[in-house]
Structure 1
Amino acid sequence: MDKSQLRDAATIILYRAGVNGVEVLMGQRGASAAFMPNKFVFPGGAVDAVDAEVPLACGPDPLCAARLAAEAEGGLVPALLAAAIRELWEETGLILGVPGDWPRPAPKGWRGFAATGHLPSAEGLRFVYRAVTPPGRPRRFDARFFLAPASRVAGDVDDFSRAEDELSLLQWIPLTKARSFDLPFITEVVLGEVAGLTDHEAPPDGVPFVKNDDLVAGIRRLR
């Protein structure tokens, strides 16, 4: 696959109440990473082909699901939701799921998650942002950003012992201090968008969509 080819991706923003206000979970990408080296980011990554095969115990709010489906091909919506849950598991070791047995053996990439005795659940995920990586970057993604309260995590939200090594310095960062970290531009923009959404769990009024291509670099809202 051409590494500069546009790929669908999912990013997840976990938040919780902390002693210094609302906190979000972030980690630092490695210095040798081809995409956004050294930057502090939310857990996320490209959709894998197997994500479309994963059984979701619960879906998101119907409005969020409809917005996802408005400009996505058939099986992409469940794959995006599953990818967000898988990336959170891989990069932090945290589980967005409910206890249950898988109806069939878990595919590669999901076996560790399944071994915890949980089915992935998208309940509580809110679709809050969509952005396409500008042309000319070594990696390009059509990324959907999901917001979820840490209360949806099964287990200890401070236990990152099962995380893989893609992100280091995993930590809960107060929203008021997040911009003091080395962030990608799009992460700063998304932080501003979600700041007002963390005091409730209702779907947002609209979902900003930043589409960068050779002709247009604009923003509109998916409603």
Structure 2
Amino acid sequence: MLTLALLLVASAFSAAFATPVLVERAAPPSAGICQRGPTYCTGANVNITTDNRYICGDSRLGPDALPTTPPLSTLFANYVPLGGLCPTQWITQYVNKTNPSYLLFPYADGFQNTTAAQPIRGNQTLPAGLLVDRFGAETGRYLAPFGTPFAQRALYPGALNTMNASFPYNYHVYNVTKEFVVLGGPIAAWFGQPGQGTQYETYRSVADLVATGALARVHYNYDEVSM
């Protein structure tokens, strides 16, 4: 009886690994997504000189075209620009009304809150050999685990604007070469994106961490990136 039980367990165990299970991401819902039409860009800073680069020619709204081929395109699976809002809705919700050049950022530096409205964050040490990345200039102080989907970062769409042709979509990859302490935790939903990824808030700028040897820039294969 014991032998039979062991054989059944072994058979089930083998079967579980013999047949791979295909897991697919759910497609983002299309209902409620703002459709482009004659009034789509109403309320945006329409600039015809950059219209082919940014949504409505407004750099605050991010690039109009996203990467469509690997490797970079994999970070945009299920990403819905502006969270499906019309530009004027997104601007009303996330742009400073007093100074439209500034955005409204989330409380607690973007960390997710507990049910008691307390940010979930704490010091942790990033070990040497860990790959991290970011969308944005090296003057910033936020990193994420390498390959975190863009929607899970809950970043503003302008973070994708290409500032240097060598780094399409302002994407940078780094290797931790010397361990250092960061403030880490889950990311709150914001800018129309769901968040829930992990962010590392550094105590020095990324540029400083590179200069001191804590981070090393990693060449990312952009050869197949579609601009």
Same fold (TM over 0.5): no
TM-score (norm 1): 0.23
Name the structure with the higher strand share. 1
Structure showing greater radius of gyration is 2
Higher RCO (C-alpha 8 Å, min separation 6): 1
